[in-house]
Structure 1
Amino acid sequence: MNSLYNTFRLISSSLLLSLLLIGCNKKDETQQKTAETDEVLVPVSLTKVDQATRSESIVASGLVASSEEARLSFKIGGIIQKVYVTEGQKVSKGQLLASLNTTEIDAQVNQAKYGVEKSERDFKRVENMLKDTAATLEQMQNVTTALDIAKQNLQIAQFNRSYAQIISPIDGAVVKKMGNEGELTGPGTPIFYITSNRQGDWVVRVGVSDKDWARLKVGDKANVQLDAYPTEAFEGRITKLAPAADPMNKLYDIEVRIAPKGKRLATGLFAKVELKPVQSRTYTVVPLEAIVEGNGKEAFIYVLDETRKKVKRLPVQIGFVDGDKVLITNGLEGISEVITSGSAFLTESSTVIVK
């Protein structure tokens, strides 16, 4: 009897243990499935974007230069015989700056002269022979052409001879001298860089984007700050707008003429220019908290995708910050709402819930 009772207790205990293990396994499987199917929902808020039309300033930097400047070179190559000026020296219009050794070019001029003299003799001889019917019309035409060619060669040689020296085309100063006496130089190789020294000829050249270029016109005002005179503000006015972008940096060159106000200016001074276009521009306005990962004028903004459960990360161009608002110049075309609250916790794989 006791043996039968003990056997029954053993079977009951084993059955209870099995049921407990099965229950635990089912609970673990349920928890695993729940963990696999549950997603972390990031609560976010949406804000509608606005449009604003303003005539905002354009800030750019550049260098002071002379509106009249020249890079001077010899028309022909040769050995530099004499340099008459030094760097920094003031020069006058028409002043001789440098000359070449003309031994070779003088020989070329004399050679061309001899060619003309011979062609003239040939022409007269054939002309007399033609009168006596001892020469043909073709021979007369040939010597006439040869005489014309000889005269043109002489004109070329004399022209080159006149450009075996460098003459200053403006009143100014020698900013840079790139050649010295005794050096061999080629045709068109710059020897001098000179700029005008007249007070009213100072300009600042800056580069702007295509959208800013479209807002500007000749005559628009500008404010100029020079690092050399940090406490002074110089007035300026746009005098030139480049018709095409620079192929290297894709920016459009703007020339701003500035009034020195009695200050001594020089080529190469660093300047910060605030351009004031009359034409206005339309911006997209978003709250400051919508901006993530800002770096200068570049930043990112999160918006909802088509499902309104996932997000998209859009790159934008910042025009400027106005208090708690940011004016966007590019990147939000066709977007009506942006994510504000909660944007700092988002990634492109986040699932969101709109509060």
Structure 2
Amino acid sequence: MDKIKNLKNKKVIIVSIILILVIGVYSIKKSNKPVAENSTVKARPVKTIQIKEETHPMTLDYIGSIETEEVKTISFKSPGKIEKIYVKEGQLVSKGSPIAKLDLTDLQLNLNSATAQMNMVNANYNKAKDDYEFNLDYYNKTQELYDNGGVSKKDLDQAQLKLDMSKSTLEASKAQYEQAKTSYELTNNSIKDATIIAGETGYIADVVAKEGENVNTGAPIVLMRPEKQIIHVGLSQEDVKKISLGKCAKVKIDDAQGKGKISNIDTIPDQQSRTYDIEIELTKEFSSKNFLIGSIANVSISLNDKKGVWLPINCVMSDGEEFVYIVEEDRIVRKNVKLSQTHEDKVLVEGLYNGASLVTQGMKTVKPGYLVSIQ
């Protein structure tokens, strides 16, 4: 009996312990409920704005680039030693302005030699031409006399031989003259080409060569980009249908701001990216310091205006879903929203109504159901 009684006492003790633990866990859970459920908790301060519809332009936001294909390599057409470089990096050069010049010393010597050679063979050519014309006239007269029986066949054959010889000499002299003339013209053109003249107005992107350096034909001297600043952007098939020539765009490179208009739209997509390249010609340009070849730019292309609920972007939070906090009857209420377009620091959303109080400050210190006071 004593054993049975002891067993019953042990069971009672165990049950009591379990009940104490359950009550303790329940008390802990109850104490962890949001403080907003406790009406005695002091309201948390937040700042709000009243939601109302606004009208802002819809935009297409892309990453653009400054392509290297816009840059031209400027070089000499003949080899030589660089005497002078007239430009520097970042300089705006007008069409017709000198860019660089070769040392003319050797070229001038070559031109003098070519001129003398051409004059000499030209004199020989003129003499051969006179001889040929004389022998042609003599042959024609001899032929006439032979036809009238005035001279023999031997006399006619001798006249023909002199004519043929003078003709061969004339042809050889002419070939020598043409060769000498070509050499002269090449040397003369080399002197003309010894000074590089800007074919169009543009900016010097880089000065590659140095004064006093010997360069070969075609070696890069400077790199030059057009006066117009162009940004290239690849648009999707869906978005390229939304734009047209002349559409305005805002461009940002690092912290610098620029503006432009669409000046060209490709109708054939790139084979690899399957995007359509458009060109934006800047109307508000960047300095040469910011407009570097190969740089990327944030481009925002303006479309039509859109009326709706536009919220400050920094008011939108996310935990896998985008949401904002509004205040209803002094309590925090979570509202899930669907984001659409952006404009500067605002975003177009769906899921809110006009007149609601949007929490703009203090939203990270509250949760749904919290009691708040609007500051």
Q: Using structure 2 for the length normalisation, give the TM-score.
A: 0.47
Instruction: Answer with 1 or 2: which has the greater Rg.
Output: 2
Q: Which has the higher contact order (CA 8 A, sep 6+)?
A: 2
Q: Using structure 1 for the length normalisation, give the TM-score.
A: 0.50
